[in-house]
Amino acid sequence: MCGIAGILNLAGQDQSPERSLVERMTGALTHRGPDDTDIWISGPVGLGHQRLSIIDLSSLGRQPMTNEDSTVHISYNGEIYNFRELKETHKLIERGHKFRSRTDTEVLVHLYEELGIGMLPELDGMFAFALWDSNKGTLHLARDRFGIKPLFYTVQNDRLLFASEIKALLRDNSVPRRVNLQAMHDFLTFNYIPGDQTAFEGIYELPPAHLLTIKSDGGMYIKRYWKPEYKVEGGMTEETAVRNARRLMESAVRKQLVADVPVGVLLSGGMDSSALTALMSREEKGQVHTYSVGFEDESFNELPYARIVAEACDTVHKEVVVTPSLVRDLLPSYLSYIDEPYADGSAIPTYYVCGLAVEDVKVVLSGEGGDEVFAGYETHAAYKVSRLFRKIPGLVRNGMIKPLVNLLPVSNKKLSLEFKMKRFLGGQDLSVPEAHLWWRIVLTELQKSEIYSDRVLNEFSPLPSARFFQSRFDDSNASGALNKLLEIDSGIFLPDDLMIKNDRMSMAHSLEARVPMTDNELFGFMETVPEHIKLKGMRKKNVMREALKGLLPDEILIKKKVGLEMPYSKWLKHELKDLLDEYLSSERISDSGLFDPDSIKNLIDQHLANQVDHGRALWGLLNFMMWLELYIPDPGDLQAASPLEMVREGGPGLG
């Protein structure tokens, strides 16, 4: 894994980027690639690269890399798992291309010479790259299908700047540090920032499965090169689905074990990482190394299940228990690896387990994507139940059942009955995508308006955050609502939340994290599986559970999903309460100019009195205020930056 950065001057071919700025931007990414660094500048473009050596450890893999006549240069972050097949299929050697290394990077360079940017749909892997074609005076920025690898950009003073992380862009002092109020509004809904926006006005993230092409004369267009299809094979049997899913999971793991360095597994104790552990154990000759994280709170702790898998697969197993003191030690500094407000409760535990893994290995397999591919979330089963529940008259649902459920006492346990019942009932009168969002919503549109300052309310007219789920649902080609929900999860929740945690927390330790469940062939096959086989009755991940029979212990195959998250609702009442007192104090809230101090205090008081569980909202606000103090010198500067103008073309396809 690596870090990339660069500049394209848009004012003319004869104006080269400032070398010292390219060096500063690249140097900000040292943690992503501490093994080597280099920059290349020619004409209007400058490319920088920090290398983490995984395949071909020699200096021949150094980047930025070029072709034989130096007309194509690339700075690339990622792994293309089918690069050897692409090299052979397109007969790159037979067609006269000279290879100096064994890297996937060099295959990309020569593949581009043959196919142009039309090569993108053929790439199976995780990647973000910048490719300069000097013959055409064109820079291509591209990102993988599921947003596993990040890529950010901004346009300032007739220059396009891009990088793997926002911190590199901020090395240019001309880049403004202003709060993006719409991104703040959406963050308070999700506890992460969705879409191509970032927390900074004027800085954007290239969406997954998209290509951004920039001409040196300033012309820009963005295009989607791949989109899920969900063309269901109605006659498929469960036996066929299970057999093929098992084969493709085995293939995905086998492909992603290719490395010239040691590989381990982040074993959470859940179904996905347990599957990776078992499948990897069958492929590797020696013992597999597994790494797990847990908590003292039993409802959040999956270490006992991780131990069952580790013992069954005979792995070399290590564990770390995350305590409030360890969380305190990492606040607020862990946000400096993300550069944006981010409040997924799995981020800090992932940081610590990656720190444990890097003592032994340089690459780990991780289970992100399994729930999106195999239908594993509570929301998927809830959708199915809601179709039946809505047949009950509204008077009974809202007049009798809902009041009784609201009497349930607040529980701080993970996925408690109280939480699930209230979330389920709260979404019954909403559209399918809005009900899907309701399960994950942190603060509603009304609740957000109640905590904003008068100035924000007067100067800002937000778009509703539900637009992300609704538009993805409406634009989906999938037949069946469940597949549309899976497309929401794989297109929004997976890249904008899970992959951020996966990438930044592993890269903080210069550790490469691979995600086999997002394999092109596996995902493509599961798109064709009928909904009733994916979600059989109320049995989530039915296909995966059946495919892993005989490979994993029964305790793992029948266990309910817990998910990695910290018990912050409880900690904020006790061990970490002082952080609320410090960062959400009336004085700091008032100084921010963004929120109303009395409304924030009311949230805290209700939480501490156990009247309402505001744990997720308070954790989000806490992280936002920490980010604000780390990155924004003048929170009161609410002037919006000019939107970036470019041509947005349809997709998929790059014909």
The string of pLDDT tens digits covering residues 169-208 is 999 999 999 999 999 999 999 999 999 999 999 999 999 9
Domain boundary among the residues 527, 558, 589 is at: 558
Q: What pLDDT, on a 0 to 100 scale, did the predictor assign at position 592?
A: 94
Nearest to 480 by CA among 344, 384, 603: 384
Tokens representing 3 are 């870090």
Partners of 133 in beta bridges: 72, 138
Same domain? 203 vs 319: no
User: Cis peptide before 207, with omega less than 30 degrees from 0?
Assistant: no
pLDDT at 486 over 80: yes
What is the chain's alpha carbon radius of gyration, rounded to the nearest angstrom?
24
Between residues 410 and 383, the one the model is more confident about: 383
Same domain? 49 vs 137: yes
* Confidence grade of residue 36 (pLDDT, cut at 50, 70, 90): confident
Same domain? 283 vs 216: no
pLDDT at 412 over 70: no
Instruction: Calculate the CA dihedral of residues 60, 63, 67, 73 and round it to 10 degrees.
Output: 180
284-330 pLDDT tens trace: 878 899 999 999 888 888 999 999 999 999 999 999 999 999 999 99
DSSP H/E element including 528: helix 520-528
Name the active-site residue from 1, 2, 41, 170: 2
In a domain, 476, yes or no: no
Same domain? 196 vs 245: no
Nearest to 583 by CA among 526, 622, 631, 539: 622
For 11-16, the CB contacts below 8 A with 24+ separation are: 11/44, 11/158, 11/159, 12/44, 12/216, 12/217, 13/43, 13/44, 13/137, 13/216, 14/43, 14/44, 15/44, 16/41, 16/42, 16/43, 16/44, 16/46
Same domain? 302 vs 329: yes
Q: How many CB atoms lie within 10 A of CB 479?
A: 13
In what side-by-side order are the strands of the sheet with 2-9?
Answer: 36-42, 45-51, 2-9, 159-163, 152-156, 203-205
Provide φ and ψ at 630, rounded to 5°. Answer: -75, -35
Give the CATH number of the domain where residue 275 resides.
Answer: 3.40.50.620
Give residue for tokens 């899970």. Answer: 498
pLDDT at 618 over 80: yes
Q: What pLDDT, on a 0 to 100 scale, did the predictor assign at position 382?
A: 76
Average pLDDT, stretch 605-634? Answer: 94
Nearest to 622 by CA among 137, 188, 68, 116: 188
Give this prediction's pTM.
Answer: 0.93
Give the CATH number of the domain where residue 68 resides.
Answer: 3.60.20.10
Q: What pLDDT, on a 0 to 100 scale, did the predictor assign at position 30?
A: 95
In a domain, 638, yes or no: no
In a domain, 394, yes or no: no
Tokens representing 617 are 């909202």
Domain boundary among the residues 502, 523, 558 is at: 558
Provide φ and ψ at 526, rounded to 5°. Answer: -65, -20
Q: What pLDDT, on a 0 to 100 scale, did the predictor assign at position 387?
A: 62
Three-state secondary-structure class, residue 646: coil
The helix-helix angle for 271-283 and 303-312 (nearest 10°) equals 20
In a domain, 26, yes or no: yes
Could you confirm whether 2 is annotated as catalytic?
yes
Q: What pLDDT, on a 0 to 100 scale, did the predictor assign at position 19?
A: 95
In a domain, 84, yes or no: yes
Q: What pLDDT, on a 0 to 100 scale, did the predictor assign at position 560?
A: 82
Same domain? 213 vs 245: no
Same domain? 161 vs 206: yes
Q: 548 is in which domain, residue-wise?
A: 238-375+493-558
Vertex 477: Cα angle to 83 and 532 (nearest 5): 95
Instruction: Calculate the CA dihedral of residues 25, 26, 32, 36 and round it to 10 degrees.
Output: -160
Nearest to 620 by CA among 186, 187, 183: 187
Residue 172's alpha-carbon distances to 157, 161, 436, 490, in angstroms, are: 11, 9, 40, 33
pLDDT at 396 over 60: no
Partners of 319 in beta bridges: 292
Tokens representing 15 are 């104006």
Same domain? 205 vs 67: yes
Vertex 124: Cα angle to 648 and 286 (nearest 5): 150
pLDDT at 580 over 80: yes
Q: How many CB atoms lie within 10 A of CB 221?
A: 13
Q: How many CB atoms lie within 10 A of CB 586?
A: 12
Same domain? 281 vs 347: yes
Q: What pLDDT, on a 0 to 100 scale, did the predictor assign at position 348?
A: 96
In a domain, 440, yes or no: no
Same domain? 202 vs 313: no
Q: What whole-number distance in Å separates Cα of residue 572 and Cα of residue 578?
A: 8
Residue 166: partners with Cβ closer than 8 Å, 6 or more residues away: 152, 198, 200, 203, 339, 340
Three-state secondary-structure class, residue 557: helix
In a domain, 25, yes or no: yes
539-571 pLDDT tens trace: 999 999 999 999 999 999 988 877 788 999 999
pLDDT at 413 over 70: no
Q: How many domains is the chain built from?
A: 2
222-266 pLDDT tens trace: 999 999 999 998 889 999 999 999 999 999 999 999 888 889 999
Same domain? 180 vs 140: yes
Query: Which amino acid, one-letter code, is at 147?
Result: G
pLDDT at 408 over 60: no
Domain boundary among the residues 512, 541, 558 is at: 558
Mean pLDDT, the chain, integer: 90
Contact 464, 409 (CB under 8 A): no
* Confidence grade of residue 655 (pLDDT, cut at 50, 70, 90): very low
Same domain? 115 vs 152: yes
Between residues 422 and 208, the one the model is more confident about: 208
Count of H-run helices and E-run strands, the chain: 30, 18
pLDDT at 404 over 60: no
pLDDT at 65 over 80: yes
In a domain, 431, yes or no: no
